[in-house]
Structure 1
Amino acid sequence: MEFEVRHLRALCAIADTGSLHRAARQLGVAQPSLSTQLRRIEQELGGALFTRAHTGCRPTPLGRLVLLRARPLVAEMRSLVAEARSAATGGPQLRVGSTASRALSGWLRRLRGRRQEPILHMDVSANALLRMVADGQLDIAFVHEVEGCPLRMPEGLRLRVLMEREPQFVSLPADHPAAARPVVHLADLAGDRWMIDPTVDGEWDAVHRILRAAGLNPRVLHGDYHTAAALVATGEVVTVCQPTSPSRPETAVRRLAGDPLGVRLLLAARTEAELDAVYPGLEEAYWETARQAPAYGEWLERAHHRPRAFAPAH
């Protein structure tokens, strides 16, 4: 077996996400294919690189040794590709990472207006994106941190808070009895199936916590949020969603009573100068998106929320 950069990228992805399933999602491959690739790599190197348990994958001592050498090689290859693309297009490109956000399109439009051509890397894992910024694979990352589930913050990153606490709403079928009210209690959803994406850092733990606190133990299905949106529309499930999500003819987006679930919206870079260059456009795009969501706009007006900046304490 000849080692290629893709093999090293796979090892780094497994270590960063702590899961073969999440790593496969990040790499855009099937999990069985990634598992087979990992077994072949371990056979070639003569030992296990990760321990597998129900809590996820953790590097073995051999795995840590391999990752120590693999990470710089992967980062260098990414830098080489980015520099080559920049030279080919005749100008600098901004490597942007992001978890899902409806503010993203407006932000990218504003970056292009400032003659900053963004290269976008989407990922459900905020931890993976933060590590890519720290390793120099991305210039900037816009991520969310689920309340009660702190992100693993690499050393040396600078952060700026866009929203200290963005409440998460619920998406339910338009003909659901609770959809007739502007605010939904969790008890109103006691008989519903929920769908949660377990690959989103912290999301499953947080949703499980608020359901348990409400005395609920509903059936929970695992799936990505594109699938969840389709199943909500057909009345199969309910799911948590961003407050900027639009209601559609088949679905209704409603605030949860008491705002039991929230996320912190963060922008991360290696320097304050990098944050200063892109934060204003992100802030404008976010408030533009918020104004298009009436229920969230009302919540913001009552809460008097304002974004603020901070530097993390290490």
Structure 2
Amino acid sequence: MNLEIRHLRVVCAIADTGSVTKAASLLGLAQPAVTAQLQRIERSLGGPLFERGRHGATPTALGELVLARARVVLPAMRGLQEDAAQLTGTRVRPNQWRIGAVNGPILGGLMSRLAAEKDGVEVLTHPSHWADQLCDLAVAGRLDFCIVGVCGDTVPGTPEDGLTWREIAIDAIFVMLPESHPLADRWEIDLAELADAQWASMPGDGCFGDCFAAACARAGFTPRTMYEMDIGNAVDAVLSGHAVGLCKATFRRVDGIATVPLAGGPLRWRHLLGWHPRSEAAGYADVMLAHAAAAYAESAARNPQYLQWGKANPQFGPRVSIASR
């Protein structure tokens, strides 16, 4: 694993607050996600960064070394981002939007709605698996808006980023099964019925893995295996019968695969729109949010089963008023 800026933020937050739990609150992340990140950082650097005692987390000698470097690097990076944003400006052309997005059902429909709204509009896209990367680009003035997903109640980035976040929609998490699977024709499936399955999911750096493990624990089992795969490999693993896939309810239909709701909606995915409140783009945020919600609704409408299931599960769906064409 290569050490990144977001990892240095985690180390500093733990040192500043004295505990992983308080650092998670400061960073807006789930506590298990911060613990997992710290463990990956320590494996990468070859030793523990903190000792846990009665008085909280205390840096080891290695931790003190990392902190000393981090407290130089982080302000320098923030200054670089701010200076670069001032130098390059916030808009390349008046009719151009720069939008970063993680894998999801919104970006394509949003682009078509922006194009229909005004002739000559150009959308420059920046795809990423990592929400924190998109946050950094927005803070640096290199993106106007970010479309990201989280499964918990937190938002990406850190409070120091100063980004504004609004909820576009809440997506249910469904399971992907080969159409030959004995549960494929069910209206919905209890998670416990899949206790013996191997699992495939898209990669990401949020707390989804921990949320999934917690949902399985509530259902009375520990998942056997979780494979992180890109969408193409995940589909192949499901079609071959090697794994059960986890996907958003708005996942596009693939021949040979059935997507089935989990009873009670134990897992969710919150689609968020983020921007910098001092950017030029901020004045267009409400309109962009409404277009994004409409794009989500259009994607959801392609799955009639999701629409029917959603009537009994109103906690899912768009969270804002939808823009009309």
TM-score by length of structure 1 reads 0.72
Structure 1 Cα separation of the partners of residues 219 and 124 of structure 2: 42
Q: Secondary structure at the match of 2:206?
A: coil
Q: CA deviation at 1:67?
A: 2.7
| 2:214 counterpart of 1:209 | yes
Q: Where does residue 107 of structure 2 map in the other structure?
A: 104
CA deviations 1:110-135 (Å, max 9, x no partner) are: 22333432211112222332343233
Q: Where does residue 166 of structure 1 map in the other structure?
A: 171
Q: Where does residue 187 of structure 1 map in the other structure?
A: 192
Structure 2 Cα separation of the partners of residues 123 and 79 of structure 1: 24
Structure 2 Cα separation of the partners of residues 97 and 16 of structure 1: 22
Q: CA deviation at 1:181?
A: 0.7
Q: CA deviation at 1:198?
A: 5.1
CA deviations 1:159-181 (Å, max 9, x no partner) are: 22212x32211112221111121
* Structure 1 pair 80–263 and aligned structure 2 pair: CA distance change class (3 A): same
- Choose the corresponding residue for 2:74, options 54, 67, 74: 67
| 2:319 counterpart of 1:307 | yes
* Structure 1 pair 177–146 and aligned structure 2 pair: CA distance change class (3 A): same
Q: CA deviation at 1:141?
A: 0.8
* Structure 1 pair 92–75 and aligned structure 2 pair: CA distance change class (3 A): farther
Q: Where does residue 267 of structure 2 map in the other structure?
A: 261
Q: Secondary structure at the match of 1:118?
A: strand
| Residues 84, 140 of structure 2: 8 Å contact kept | no
Unmatched tracts of structure 1, length 5 or more: 1-8, 19-50, 310-314
Q: Where does residue 57 of structure 2 map in the other structure?
A: none
TM-score by length of structure 2 reads 0.70
Q: Where does residue 23 of structure 2 map in the other structure?
A: none
| 2:38 counterpart of 1:52 | no
Structure 1 Cα separation of the partners of residues 86 and 177 of structure 2: 43
Q: What is the percent sequence identity of the aligned residues?
A: 26
- Choose the corresponding residue for 1:130, options 117, 127, 135: 135
Q: Where does residue 247 of structure 2 map in the other structure?
A: 241
* Structure 1 pair 206–54 and aligned structure 2 pair: CA distance change class (3 A): farther
Q: CA RMSD in A?
A: 3.2
Structure 1 Cα separation of the partners of residues 8 and 304 of structure 2: 41
* Structure 1 pair 11–147 and aligned structure 2 pair: CA distance change class (3 A): closer
Q: Secondary structure at the match of 1:136?
A: coil
Structure 2 Cα separation of the partners of residues 174 and 109 of structure 1: 32
Q: Where does residue 218 of structure 1 map in the other structure?
A: 223
Q: Count residues with an aligned counterpart.
A: 264
CA deviations 1:61-85 (Å, max 9, x no partner) are: 21231232134325655776787x9
* Structure 1 pair 80–126 and aligned structure 2 pair: CA distance change class (3 A): same
Structure 1 Cα separation of the partners of residues 166 and 154 of structure 2: 18
* Structure 1 pair 102–92 and aligned structure 2 pair: CA distance change class (3 A): same
Q: CA deviation at 1:217?
A: 1.9
* Structure 1 pair 77–270 and aligned structure 2 pair: CA distance change class (3 A): closer
| Residues 99, 125 of structure 1: 8 Å contact kept | yes
**Quick one: which amino acid aligns to residue 263 of structure 2?**
A
Structure 2 Cα separation of the partners of residues 54 and 257 of structure 1: 38
Q: CA deviation at 1:153?
A: 4.4
Q: Where does residue 29 of structure 1 map in the other structure?
A: none
Structure 1 Cα separation of the partners of residues 318 and 5 of structure 2: 37
Q: Secondary structure at the match of 1:170?
A: strand
| 2:151 counterpart of 1:146 | yes
| 2:82 counterpart of 1:93 | no
Q: Secondary structure at the match of 1:180?
A: coil
Structure 2 Cα separation of the partners of residues 102 and 150 of structure 1: 19
Q: Where does residue 204 of structure 2 map in the other structure?
A: 199
| Residues 173, 232 of structure 1: 8 Å contact kept | yes
Structure 2 Cα separation of the partners of residues 101 and 224 of structure 1: 15
Q: CA deviation at 1:186?
A: 1.2
CA deviations 1:248-307 (Å, max 9, x no partner) are: 222110100111001222111123523124222212211111111112111333344552
Structure 2 Cα separation of the partners of residues 108 and 80 of structure 1: 27
Q: Where does residue 41 of structure 1 map in the other structure?
A: none
| Residues 167, 243 of structure 1: 8 Å contact kept | yes
